[in-house]
Structure 1
Amino acid sequence: MTNPVPSAQDEVVEITSELIRIDTSNYGDGSGPGERAAGERVMEWLAEVGVQGTYIESAERRGNVVARIEGADASLPPLLVHGHLDVVPAQASDWRVHPFSGEVVDDYVWGRGAVDMKDMNAMMLAVLRQMAREGRRPRRDIVFAWLADEEAGGEYGAKYLTRNHRDLFEGVEYAISEVGGYSFEVDPSLRLYLIETAQKGLAWMRLTAEGQAGHGSMINKDNPVTELAAALARLGDHDWPVRLTPTVRRFLEEVADALGLEFDPENPEPVLDKLGPLVRFVGATLRHTANPTRLDAGYKVNVIPGHAHAEVDGRFLPGFEDEFFAQVDELLGPKVRREFVHHDIALETSFDGPLVESMIAALKAEDPSARAVPYCLSAGTDNKSFAPLGIRGFGFVPLRLPPELDFAALFHGVDERVPIDALRFGVRVLDRLLTAY
C-alpha cells in the first residue's frame, strides 16, 4: 500500500517550522548568517516535486530563489508572489518558546518569522508543491520569489534582482506579498480582511550637529550635543496633522459601515477606538511619523565633543513626501544636517481590478463571513522595489485569526507565533487564488 500524497494543508505547518529553525537573522550590517541555508532548502523543496528554481546570491550568503511556473494561457500577464527569507533578530531570554525552535505549542507555530514572513514562504511552497504533484497548471504564469534582505531595505534581495535580473519578472503586472489578507472580527457573522493597497514611505535619517569642542567645565554656547538634543525634542514632540489618504479614508469608511457608525473625516477617533489592538497598524497611517531611535556623542565626560549624531525613523504618507521633509527641516533647524541611512518611496494603488476580485472571491469561498477592505501599511515591503518595474503590489497573506489574538504585536515582537488553523486556511485561499486568477 502506497503512502498518500501529502496535501498543502498537511505540509504547511512542517515547512513553516523548518524555515523558522533556519536562523536568517538580519542585523543590517552584514554580520548575520544570511539567507543561503534557507534558500538552498527552498531549492530542495522545489526539486523534490520537479520544479526548477533559480538560486542567486547577491553577496556571500545572501540567497534568493525565483521559480516561474508556466500557466495555461500565455497571453495573460504573469503574477508575482514573493516573500522574504530574512527575519529581524530575537533574544531567546525574552521568549516563552525559543525563537528559532519552530515548536508547535497550543495549536500555534512559534518562532521568529512565524508571521513575518516564513508563514507565507511556507504557504507558497506548500501550494506550489501540491500543484506540481497533481499536475495542475495555473491560468497564467506565476513567478514565485523567496528573497533576501527585506528587513534592511532589500539591497541584497528585491532591489538587487530588479537591477540585475529584471528578465525574471518580464511581463509581470501584479504582485502579492506580506502584511495583508488577515482578518479582524467585527462579530461572529462578519470578518473584515485587510488587504494592503498602500504603504508609507521610508526615511531613515542620520542627523549631525557640529560645534566647538572644549573643556566640559567651561561655558560653551556652541555645544553640538545641546543643539542636537533640542532638535530631536522638537522633532519627537511634533504633532503631525491628520492626512486621510484615499486608502485610509476608504478603510475607515468601511469599518464604520461594518460597525454601524457614522464616519466623520474631521474626527476619525470613534472608529479608531473600535479597532482594539489593530489600531497599532492603522493609527500610524493617519499622519507622518518621525521617531528618534539612536544617539551618539562624545568620548569623555569632561570633554564637549565637536559633533553629535542621532538617527531617526521617519515614515511619510503617500502623496505628502515633500510636505514631510519640509517640516522635518524646519524642526531640525539650520545647524543640524540630515542624510539618509535609507530612503524609499511611498505606494498607493486603488482597490480594484481582476486580482482584487479574485482575492475577494477566494476569501469568501473559504469564509462566507469575509468582507475585504483596503488599508495602508505604516511600514513597507518589497513591493516598493517592484513598483519601478510597473508592478502593482498588494499585501495578501490570507489568515483567519482568532479574535483574541493581538496580531499587530507579533511583528518584530516577542513570542511571535501563527495559528495552525490560520496557516491551513491561508493555503486553501492561496490555492484558490493562484488557480483561478
Structure 2
Amino acid sequence: MDPVRITSELIRINSDNPPGITTDVIEYIAGILDSLGIATDCIENAPGHCNLITREQGHPLLLCGHVDVVPALDEGWHHPPYSGTIDEEFVWGRGSTDMKGGCASILSAVSNLVEEGVEPGVSLAFVCDEEVGGPHGIHHLLAKELILPSDCIIAEPTPAIAPCIGQKGLCRFSVEFTGTPGHSSLYPCVGVSAVMEAFNFIHFIKELHNRDYPVEPSMAGIISHSERILSDIFQTKGLRSVLTRIMYNPGIISGGEKANIVAQKCHIEVDLRLPWGCDAYQLLDEIRCQAPNANITPSSVWNPSLTPPHSDIVSRITHEINQLHNVASQPIVQWAASDARALRKKGFRVVEYGPGDIRTLHAVNERVAHDDLRDASEIYREVIRSYQS
C-alpha cells in the first residue's frame, strides 16, 4: 500500500478537533487492517470519539498515531485544506504533517510486511484527541490498560534524520479576574479594573521567559544538537531559548463590559512550555501566589519527559535511519508536546519519528513529501522486523 494515497484519503475524511468526531476516519483505518487480516477493536469513550487498537496487544513494540486534526480555514491555501491534493512532490492538506501522514506510513509498513508473508508482531493504536490533550484517547486507553507498557514509536512529524526522545513540560491554565466596576471617568482613582489586573499578570508571565534554567551536563549535548536541528528547520539563529527557557503564550483574552465601565470581569487562557529543570507544579503554585484574588484553573500540567538516549528503541530506530539515509543519526528533544508524555509516565519507552514538513504544523499549506512518507514507512517496517529477530 502506498502511503501517499492513504494520506490523501485520510485528509479527505474530516476529523477536526473540535468537535473531534473520528468515527469515519477510524472506520477507514479499520477497513485497511481488516483487509490485511489484522483484528481490531474500536474503543469509544464518548459518542463519536473513536480510537482503534489491534486486538492483540502486549507485543514488545507499539506504533501509535492520532487521527484528529486542528481546524483549517480555506483562506491562504494553495489547495483546499481538505482536498488531499497530490502533486509531483507533496500531499497537501490539513493533517498531512500532523499527523495523518504518519498514520499512513504505519499502515503502509504493516501492509508491506503482510505482503512479504511476514506476521507483523506489533501492537497498533490510533487515538482520537491528541490535539486537545487526549482525555478520550490515550488517557482512556492507559486508564483501562487497553495498551500495555512497551517500546513505542509515535509517528509525529520529526526531522528525517533525528528522532525525538523528549518533550518540554506544559502548564496550561485559565485565569478569571474580578474587578470593582465604576465610572470610567474616575479610574484609576476609583474602581479596580479586571482588564488591568490581567495586563499586570501577563507582564509577570512575560518575565518568566527571562529565567535561566541551567542545562544539566547529561542534557548539554542533546540540547545543543536539538538547537542546531531547530535552527536548520526554521532557518533562524538563536533558538536555544526555545529549549532552555519558559516559552509563553497568552492565547485568549476577553473582558470588560463597556468602554465607559471599569471592567468587572476579564478572562485569559495561557500556555507555558517548560524546560528541563523547571517543575510544573511548583511553577503553578507561584503563579497562584502572583494572582491571589483571581480564579486560576489548570487544564494540563506536565513536567518535561525523556526516554533515555541509550534505550533499545532509540538504538533500533537510529540504526534504521542511518541505514536508509547514510548518516550518523542523533536523537533530539522537542519544544512541543504530544501523547508521549502520558505514555512515558506509564512506563512506555517512547520515541517520536514520522514524516512531515514541521514548518507547516497547524499552519496554512500544510503538506508532506512523498519521499518522506515512503522513507518513514520503510523505517517503521525495518524496526518492526528487528523486534522479531
Q: Mark yes or no: TM-score above 0.5.
A: yes
The answer to whether the Cα contact below 8 Å between 2:62 and 2:124 also exists between their aligned partners in 1 is: yes
The answer to whether the Cα contact below 8 Å between 2:12 and 2:82 also exists between their aligned partners in 1 is: yes
Cα deviation per residue 1:314-350 (whole Å; 9 max; x = unaligned)?
A: 11123421554355456x4444442213223421121
Corresponding position: 1:417 with 2:376: no
The answer to whether the Cα contact below 8 Å between 1:215 and 1:304 also exists between their aligned partners in 2 is: yes
Cα distance change of structure 1 residues 25 and 283 upon mapping to structure 2, 3 Å threshold: farther
Which shifted more, 90-99 or 231-240?
231-240
Residue 233 of structure 1 is matched in structure 2 by 203
The answer to whether the Cα contact below 8 Å between 2:213 and 2:277 also exists between their aligned partners in 1 is: no
Matched position secondary structure for 1:144: strand
Shift of 1:154: 0.3
Alpha-carbon distance in structure 1 between the residues aligned to 2:235 and 2:152: 24
Alpha-carbon distance in structure 2 between the residues aligned to 1:327 and 1:294: 21
Of 349, 358, 363, which aligns to 1:408? 358
Cα distance change of structure 1 residues 411 and 283 upon mapping to structure 2, 3 Å threshold: farther
Residue 154 of structure 2 is matched in structure 1 by 177
Alpha-carbon distance in structure 2 between the residues aligned to 1:35 and 1:282: 37
Shift of 1:395: 0.9
Unaligned runs of 5+ in 1: 1-7, 184-192, 256-267, 402-406
Unaligned runs of 5+ in 2: none
Q: List aligned pairs for 1:336-375, cutoff 5 A.
A: 336-368=294-326, 370-375=327-332
Which shifted more, 243-252 or 207-216?
243-252
Cα distance change of structure 1 residues 245 and 26 upon mapping to structure 2, 3 Å threshold: farther
Alpha-carbon distance in structure 2 between the residues aligned to 1:201 and 1:253: 18
Matched position secondary structure for 1:343: strand
For 1:394, the aligned partner's letter is V
User: Aligned pair count?
Assistant: 382
Cα distance change of structure 1 residues 62 and 246 upon mapping to structure 2, 3 Å threshold: farther
Corresponding position: 1:429 with 2:387: no
Q: TM-score, normalised by structure 1?
A: 0.80
Alpha-carbon distance in structure 1 between the residues aligned to 2:332 and 2:166: 7
Residue 211 of structure 1 is matched in structure 2 by 179
Of 132, 149, 153, which aligns to 2:129? 149
For 1:208, the aligned partner's letter is E
Q: TM-score, normalised by structure 2?
A: 0.90
Of 2, 8, 30, which aligns to 1:43? 30
The answer to whether the Cα contact below 8 Å between 1:179 and 1:196 also exists between their aligned partners in 2 is: no
Identical amino acids, percent of aligned pairs: 25
The answer to whether the Cα contact below 8 Å between 2:174 and 2:267 also exists between their aligned partners in 1 is: yes
Which shifted more, 333-342 or 99-108?
333-342
Shift of 1:278: 6.1
Corresponding position: 1:62 with 2:19: no
RMSD: 2.5
Of 236, 240, 253, which aligns to 1:295? 253
Alpha-carbon distance in structure 2 between the residues aligned to 1:272 and 1:242: 21
Cα deviation per residue 1:273-292 (whole Å; 9 max; x = unaligned)?
A: 96351669865112112221
Which shifted more, 301-310 or 42-51?
301-310
Corresponding position: 1:52 with 2:39: yes
Shift of 1:21: 0.5
Alpha-carbon distance in structure 1 between the residues aligned to 2:235 and 2:46: 37
Corresponding position: 1:93 with 2:86: no
